[in-house]
Each structure stands twice: as C-alpha cells, then as structure tokens.
Amino acid sequence: MPACKLTIVALTAAVALVAPACAVDVEDDDDDVIQEVELEAYDFYFEETSLPLQLGGDVIVDFVNAGDATHSFTVPDLDLEVEAQSGESTEVEFSLPDEPGVLDFFCKFHPDDMNGTISIGGAEAPLEEEGAVEDEDVDEDTAEDAPGGPGYNY
Ligand SMILES: [Cu+2]
C-alpha cells in the first residue's frame, strides 16, 4: 500500500523538523523567565566577559572551568559565588533584579585578569548610578515674561 508508506515518511520528516528545537528545555510552573548562559574560565580569562541577560526572572549559569587552576564565578551584588576545579563545571541558578543595570563579576582568585559584566535588560550603566537626577534647571521664565502686556495701552 504505497499511500501508507508515504504517510509514514511525511510523519518522520515532521518529527525531524520539530526535534532540534529542544536545546533549552527548562520549564517553570510560573511564567518566570528562565535564561541559560554558559561561562567558561581559562587560565586566566573568561570566555565571555559580557553576559547580556533579559530583565527579571531566573538565570542558570553553566560555569565551566577549562583551565588548570581553580576559578570562581563571583557576583558581589548578588551575593553569589561558585567555584570550579580544573575540568569541572558548576551550574548555579539565581534571580535577576527587576531593574536594568550592570553587575560586575570576577574570579576571586584572579580578579585582575578575570572579570566581566552582566548586563541586565540592555543596560550599560551600573545599578548604583541609576538614581542620578539631572533635571535641576527647570524653565521658570516662561510664565511672567510679558512686560507691559496688551492691557497697558493708554
Ligand atoms: Cu581564576
């Protein structure tokens, strides 16, 4: 029955098309945003020194130590620190702030050589500096600016 055979081939093709989409398959009961990024540590640098992340939700960082020394992924602003021995990898999950900002991260063993930033929500300024107010010179000379208005024509 050739028709039957055709159907099976079509189905197989459809499954093959859908299957590769399962690279990131983390699901959550809530609608928390789950993002997953990989960070590799070498002797002595991070493979990504800039981690762009979306606003809010949870993040899973897959911290891989591809170097010979022990390295850490340390984010002081989040009270976060994980270590990985040579050849090991550690997964750490944490929640992001709900405001855009930039967090510094570094390796506590080699902070001068190994450091980078987590950019949240496309922000490029550190979180600490977002409170700066710049609207000090409000225009006050527009209301009473008509010397001798139309009523003064004698
Ligand atoms: Cu290090």
- Report the pLDDT averaged over residues 133-146: 50
Give 21 Cα–ligand 1 centroid separation in angstroms. Answer: 34
Domain ranges of the chain: 28-122
pTM over 0.85: no
Which segment, 22-26, 30-34, 120-124, 134-138, is predicted with the most confidence on average? Answer: 120-124
pLDDT tens digit sequence for 59-103 = 999 999 999 999 999 999 999 999 999 999 999 999 988 899 999
* Phi/psi-derived region of residue 69, left when phi > 0, alpha when psi is between -120 and 50, beta in every other case: beta
Percent of the chain predicted with pLDDT > 70: 60
Q: Which of 41, 35, 55 is nearest to 106 (CA)?
A: 41
In angstroms, what is the span from residue 70 Cα to ligand 1's centroid?
6
Separation of alpha carbons 152 and 154, rounded Å: 6
Q: Which of 126, 128, 130 minimizes the C-alpha distance to 117?
A: 126
Please tell me the distance between residue 62's alpha carbon and the centre of ligand 1 in angstroms.
16
Ligand 1 centroid to residue 85 C-alpha, Å: 10
Distance 63 CA to ligand 1 centre (A): 12
Measured in angstroms, how far is the CA atom of residue 112 from the centroid of ligand 1? Answer: 9
Question: Which residues are within 8 A (CB) of 7 and not within 5 positions of it... i.e. 6 or more apart?
Answer: none
Question: Does the domain made of 28-122 have the CATH classification 2.60.40.420?
Answer: yes
- How many angstroms does the Cα of residue 133 sit away from the middle of ligand 1? 38
Q: How far is the CA of 81 from the centre of ligand 1 (A)?
A: 12
Question: What are 97-126's pLDDT values in tens digits?
Answer: 889 999 999 999 999 999 999 999 887 777
Q: How far is the CA of 38 from the centre of ligand 1 (A)?
A: 16
Going from the Cα of 134 to the center of ligand 1, the distance in angstroms, rounded, reads 39
